[in-house]
Structure 1
Amino acid sequence: MVTKERNAHTRLIQLVDQYTSVENRFETPIAGLILSRWDTPTQASSNMLDASLCLIAQGKKQVILGEEIYTYDAEHFLFTAIDLPVISQIIDASPEKPYLGILLKLDPYALAQLMLEAHVPFKHRTEDKKGLAVGELTHELTNAFVRLLELIQTPEDIQILSPLIIKEILYRLLMSPQGDRLKRIAATGTNGHRIVKAIEWLKHNFSKPLSIDDLANSMGMSSSSFHQHFRDITSMSPLQYQKRMRLSEARRLLITEDLDVSSASIQVGYESLSQFSREYKRFFGMPPSEDLRKN
C-alpha cells in the first residue's frame, strides 16, 4: 500500500476497533451501518445475508453461496445486491488482531435512482450473473468509509452528511469493475431487477404456498425464464430460496422470540413438524430443539 492508502486503512481499523470494544456487534446510529468484532475464528454457519456491501478492516472471512466459495479480506470487499441465504465463516481472527467487519445495507431502488441521476452507463453482458461478488477495495472507497465512520463521533452531522457519503460509496461501487453485475440487478426493466422484485415479494410472503407460474407471471416473465434467471442470480431455485427463508425466520423466532418448535414451524408455513425438523437439521447442522437449548 502507498502511504495515504495505509493511513486510511489504519484509521479504518482504529475506528471499528474503538466502536466494537464493548460489544461484538454494534448497530451504529447511521441507518444500515453495522460493525462487528470477533477475537477467534468461527464455525461455518447458515444465515441470510442482507443486500449489502461488506468490508473487513482486519481479518478474513469466507462466504459460500451454492457451490461457490467467496473469500475476502482487508484488501477486498464483498457485495450482494439481494438478500441471499449463505454459509459464512470468519477464518482469520485472534485476540491480538481481531476480525473487524463493516456491513452497509444496500437499497436496490436507491442504486437504480443513482444510475439515472448520474447517467451511469449500462451494458447487457453475458458473463457471470450471480448476485454476489468480491472486488478489490480501492483507496477512494476506503476513504469514504472512514469519513462515514467518523460521523459517529459527531451525531449532529449524521442526518445531513451520511446520505451524501453513502451516495458516494454507492457511486464508486457502481463504477468499480464489479459494477456491471450490480447494474444488471438494479436497472429498472432488466430481468435482474424483476428477480429483485420477486425476492422482495418472497420476503413478505414466504410462509404462504408458492406458485412459480403465478409469481413469474406477476413479474412479466415466463416460468422457464423466471426460473433460469432466479437460479443465475441466487444459485438456487425459487422453492429452495423460500425454504431457506422459512428456516432462517424459524431460527430467529426460536432464539429471539422464545417460540416453541411447533409454533415456529407453523408460523413460517410448515404443515409437518417432522419435515421441519429434518430440513432445519440439514440447514443448521442440528435439530431445532438442540439449537434452542444451546442458545
Structure 2
Amino acid sequence: MSVMIHKPAEREAKRLAANREELSERIGQAISFDGTYQPLQGLHLSRSSTPFKQHHSVLEPSLCVTVQGSKEVLFGESRYQYDPMHYLLITVEMPDIAQVLEASKERPYLGLRLELDPTLVSAVMLEASYTLPPGTAHMRAIDVSLFDVHLLDAIVRLARLLDTPDEAPILQPLITREIMYRLLKGGQGGRLRHLAIQDGYTSHISQAVARLRQNFDQPLRVETLAHELGMSISAFHHHFKAVTTLSPLQFQKQLRLQEARRLMLSEDLDAQVAAYRVGYQDASHFNREYKGLFGAPPMRDVQRLREVRHGFGERTRR
C-alpha cells in the first residue's frame, strides 16, 4: 500500500520538475536580453542577469511566475518571496516594490506574468458553478502558493505558443481559461473573488482602488469615499488595509510619487513641476516623501535612473 501511495506522488514530482525545466528553456529562448517583453496579449516576460535593487511600480491583477531565480515583492509592510516552486497572485491593482534576489549571467532571473481579466474570471466562476470557500470575505489581495502539476501544465502549454504565434489567437484564450479554472480550484480560489462581480466589502475596496487610481492627484477625502461606498470611515480603513496592505493615504502617496518619478524621467520635468502635477502643493514635503520612498532626493534619484538606463541601452546595442 505504501508503494502504491508513493508512486503517484513520485510521478507528479517528476512532471513538475520536467515542466519547470521546459518552462525555463522556453522563456530563456523567448527573451534573450535583460528587460521586459510582451510577446502575446496579456503575457509579459522578464529577464535579469544580476540581482537588482528595489523597483517601484503599480502592479495590475496578475498571475506572477518566477521561472528561474527568485524574487521578492513588498506591499506595505508585507513581503512575498516566490521561486520556481511557487507562484504569486495579485487580484487588486496596487503599488508594489519588487526586487530580484537570485540572478547571474550563467543563470539569469526569468519571470512570466499573465494579466487577469475580471470578465474572464467571472465567466469561469459561473461556468464552474464555483462557490466561495468559507473565510474569504476579507481575504488579502495577494499571496504566494505552491504550484500543483495541473496549473503548471497549463502554463507550460501557454509558453509553447511562443514558438507558434499564429496559433495563439485561437489557443491562448482556451489555455488562459484553463489557468483561471486551475487557480479557482487551487488554494488561491477565494482570492480570485476580488476580480469577480460579487457583493460585500471586497468589491467596495476594488471600487475605491479604481477611484484612487483615476484621481490620485486630487485631495483624498476618506469620509466622502467611504460614504459613497456605504461604509463608515473606520470600516473603510479596516477593509481597505485588509485587502491592499496599505492605508488609503499610503496607497495614494505611493501612486503620486511613482507618477512624479515617471514624469521626471519621461517628460524631463523638474521636481517642483512634477510635484505639482501629482497633487503636492509643498515642494519640501514632496522631497521628504520622495526620499523616504525611493531612498534619494528626486533629481539625484532620476539622474541615477538615467545613467542605469543609458548603461542598459549601451549593453543592448552591443
TM range (shorter): over 0.9
Taking only aligned residues, the RMSD between alpha carbons, in angstroms, comes to 1.9
Q: Give, in angstroms, the shift of residue 128 of structure 1.
A: 7.1
Partner of 1:53: 63
Partner of 2:167: 157
Partner of 2:112: 102
Q: Give, in angstroms, the shift of residue 109 of structure 1.
A: 4.0
Matched to 1:26, the amino acid is Y
Partner of 1:8: 19
Does the CA-based 8 Å contact 2:264-2:271 persist in structure 1? Answer: yes
Aligned equivalents of 1:154, 1:184: Cα separation in 2 = 33
TM-score, with structure 2 as normaliser: 0.87
Does the CA-based 8 Å contact 1:208-1:269 persist in structure 2? Answer: yes
Aligned equivalents of 1:102, 1:84: Cα separation in 2 = 18
Aligned equivalents of 2:163, 2:232: Cα separation in 1 = 51
Aligned equivalents of 1:192, 1:86: Cα separation in 2 = 19
Aligned equivalents of 1:252, 1:161: Cα separation in 2 = 36
Partner of 2:44: 34
Q: Which moved more, 1:149-158 or 1:70-79?
A: 149-158
Q: Give, in angstroms, the shift of residue 150 of structure 1.
A: 1.8
Q: Give, in angstroms, the shift of residue 44 of structure 1.
A: 2.5
Q: Give, in angstroms, the shift of residue 274 of structure 1.
A: 1.3
Does the CA-based 8 Å contact 1:210-1:239 persist in structure 2? Answer: yes
Structure 1 residue ranges without an equivalent (≥5): none
- Render the CA deviation track for 1:107-133: whole Å, top value 9, x for unaligned: 334323322232111134169722110
- Percent of counterpart pairs with the same letter? 40
Partner of 1:246: 256
Q: Give, in angstroms, the shift of residue 200 of structure 1.
A: 1.1
Aligned equivalents of 1:4, 1:130: Cα separation in 2 = 31
Does the CA-based 8 Å contact 1:186-1:192 persist in structure 2? Answer: no
Aligned equivalents of 2:194, 2:155: Cα separation in 1 = 25
Matched to 2:179, the amino acid is I
Partner of 1:142: 152
Q: Give, in angstroms, the shift of residue 261 of structure 1.
A: 1.8
Partner of 2:232: 222
Does the CA-based 8 Å contact 2:138-2:239 persist in structure 1? Answer: no
Pairwise mapping of residues 198-209 of structure 1 onto structure 2 (< 5 A)? 198-209=208-219
Aligned equivalents of 1:42, 1:259: Cα separation in 2 = 26
Q: Give, in angstroms, the shift of residue 153 of structure 1.
A: 2.3
Aligned equivalents of 2:75, 2:185: Cα separation in 1 = 24
Does the CA-based 8 Å contact 1:174-1:183 persist in structure 2? Answer: no
Partner of 1:276: 286
Give the secondary structure class of the aligned counterpart of 1:113.
Answer: helix
Give the 4+ runs in structure 1 shifted more than 3 A: 184-187
Q: Give, in angstroms, the shift of residue 287 of structure 1.
A: 1.0
Aligned equivalents of 1:218, 1:33: Cα separation in 2 = 35
TM-score, with structure 1 as normaliser: 0.93
Q: Which moved more, 1:280-289 or 1:15-24?
A: 15-24
Does the CA-based 8 Å contact 2:89-2:188 persist in structure 1? Answer: no
Matched to 1:154, the amino acid is T
Give the secondary structure class of the aligned counterpart of 2:110.
Answer: strand
Aligned equivalents of 1:167, 1:126: Cα separation in 2 = 22
Partner of 1:89: 99
Matched to 1:257, the amino acid is E
Aligned equivalents of 1:126, 1:113: Cα separation in 2 = 19
Aligned equivalents of 1:78, 1:210: Cα separation in 2 = 30
Aligned equivalents of 1:54, 1:126: Cα separation in 2 = 21
Matched to 2:125, the amino acid is M
Aligned equivalents of 1:16, 1:184: Cα separation in 2 = 29
Larger radius of gyration: 2
Does the CA-based 8 Å contact 1:184-1:190 persist in structure 2? Answer: no
Q: Give, in angstroms, the shift of residue 221 of structure 1.
A: 2.1
Structure 2 residue ranges without an equivalent (≥5): 1-11, 307-318
Aligned residues: 294
